[in-house]
Amino acid sequence: MTASTVCRFTLWLLLSGVASKAWPQASTPLPLKTHKFWHARKVLLEALPKNDSLGVAEACYLFGKAYIAAADYRTAQFWLVKALRIHEQLGESEALTKVYLRLVEIESWLGRWPKALQYARQALEVAKRIRSSKATMQAYNALAHVFEDIPANSRTALQTDSIWLYYQFAGQLASTLHDTLSIAYHQSQMGRLLLARNNRQGLGLLQRSLTTYTRSNLWFDQLRTSLLLAEGWLGLGQPKQAKPYIDRAKQIYTKQNMSDYSSRLHIEAVFLNYYQAMNDWKGAFNQLERVRTLEQSQYSADRDGAVTRLSVEYETEKKEALLKAQKQELALQTENQRVQNWFLWAVSALLLVAGGMSVVFYRLSRKNKRISLQNAELVREQNHRVKNNLQTMSNLLTLQANRLTDVAAKKAVAESQLRIETMAVLQRQLYDGNQLARVDLAEFIPELVGMVLQAFGYEAIEPDYSLSPTNVSADQAMPVALILSELTTNACKYAFPDHPNPLFRVSCQQRGNQIIVAVADNGPGLHPLIEQDVMVKTRTSFGMKLIQTQVDQLRGTGQFSTDEGTQFTLSFTT
């Protein structure tokens, strides 16, 4: 395919409305970086009359950068893929490596490490073939970043060693290019890695990096490097040398009117470590309160909104996919009706039109096949989006839990993660099974209960199941799943510990249009206020509130009873 053909093909995509979803109205500016969007638009409009393939590719790349700045990664990926297709046809260049590296940024942010590594390695291969030292340096840095972004418990020893190796390669190229800022960046990364190994040489590298950033008035880099130096001195047991760097970071944050939660939390956490190292327990206690206040404010927002946000996202995506499918089906039905009416009129007028109509129906058949394929792709896309959202929320809760010091807060976050895993199990049953948007509780319940038991370390317990085939809709499956998860969690927390012979029974039976689910254990039982009915108004447990909310959503009844343990019986109508 020639360059002019690529250009004409891309122009057709842009002008035919394929990319219209990524073209905002002038009255709706992009967040923060509006000028970047209008610059990209200017480049595109200048390239269109000239059939300039490189100009169109550059405009697509600039659109991608603008949407990355607006945190709209899906639209950014749309534009960057357009730029990638043009550059791959035009040949290898630094511009092609730039597109690969931007795609690395998006895939890494979305947690898709294999795809991010693939793009980073492609960028490195192209940079080496075109002998661009700058592009090669950027590709090495990108590879190191991707390996660092992979969670430590999922990273191999070889990948950990590769982080050090790739940063060294990038640093050598930065020195060869005499790129001052790239050298400073390399020094800060290597200094951080050395201090993690208790090597004092890291302090010198960080100090040289800070000097360069100070001369260049790069405030955020100064703040970050100052905190790295402070942590380095604290790690070496010399808190007095750390104090000036902590003060400097705080002054930069205040003077530059920064409003960044992670930077502020980082400063307060380093201050806490400083007070502890100085044995100033009063100061450490006050500082701990500040850190806990910051963490609690973030945790409270996550805890109160986590389940609600997931439910809203799940329902919204499901309705959007259904609405799109219905619109396409309606358009297809309208088209079929119009063609059939015209065909009947044509046959009654001339037999000759019969041959022409055969061609029309052949084309219509192909169109119907394309629409069917599009509908299938739409369902797969919905399933993929739900999986990504659940995984993203689980990762966010993991990050939050890692910053928490309060045991109760960590426990609450862990329980929220378990509820998210419950939704993930249900989602797989809904869309990976043979019946779309319906679940057989007889298959789903053992998988869910086993997942919760394994999470609490009770996989050795073999529950007693009495399950009959029971199909329910997605709207009913979600509340049942959350109730079962809460009851199993309560059994793991209160019934099984210290019990010589823990038992757990689950039954599910359908009688006509009535479904009855019963869960029982042989634990010590419940508080008397909860013993008869979950409708007791004096309860304060979040789990009990969640159970009652789901019972109400099912429009059913739920009742606790105590008979050699605890039993909960749920009844609702299909």
In the chain, where the domains are located: 34-91, 280-432, 437-574
Question: Is the CB of residue 357 less than 8 Å from the CB of residue 347?
Answer: yes
Name the residue among 511, 538, 510, 523 with its Cα closest to residue 568. Answer: 523
CA 307 to chain centre: 15
* Paired tokens of 573: 């109508």
Q: Tokens 């046809």, residue?
A: 89
Query: Residue 369 phi/psi, 5° resolution?
Result: -65, -40
Measured between alpha carbons, how far is 133 from 135 in angstroms, rounded to an integer? 6
DSSP characters over 281-302 = HHHHHHHHHHHHHHHHHHHHHH
Measured between alpha carbons, how far is 507 from 505 in angstroms, rounded to an integer? 7
* Paired tokens of 572: 């609702």
The CATH architecture to which 437-574 belongs is 2-Layer Sandwich (3.30)
Count of Cβ atoms closer than 10 Å to residue 65 Cβ: 20
Confidence (pTM): 0.45
Average pLDDT along the chain, 574 residues, taken 10 residues at a time: 47 43 38 72 88 91 82 84 92 93 89 92 94 93 89 82 88 90 88 86 90 89 90 90 90 79 76 85 77 62 40 49 67 76 74 65 70 60 61 65 65 66 66 69 89 86 91 88 90 86 92 93 70 46 85 92 86 91
What pLDDT shows up at residue 531? 46
What pLDDT shows up at residue 323? 59
What pLDDT shows up at residue 326? 66
Strands 464-467, 504-511: pairing is parallel
Helix (H, G, I), strand (E, B) or coil at 566: strand
H or E segment to which residue 464 belongs: strand 464-467
Measured between alpha carbons, how far is 427 from 424 in angstroms, rounded to an integer? 5
Question: Is the CB of residue 30 less than 8 Å from the CB of residue 24?
Answer: yes
- Cα torsion 489, 491, 492, 493: sign: positive
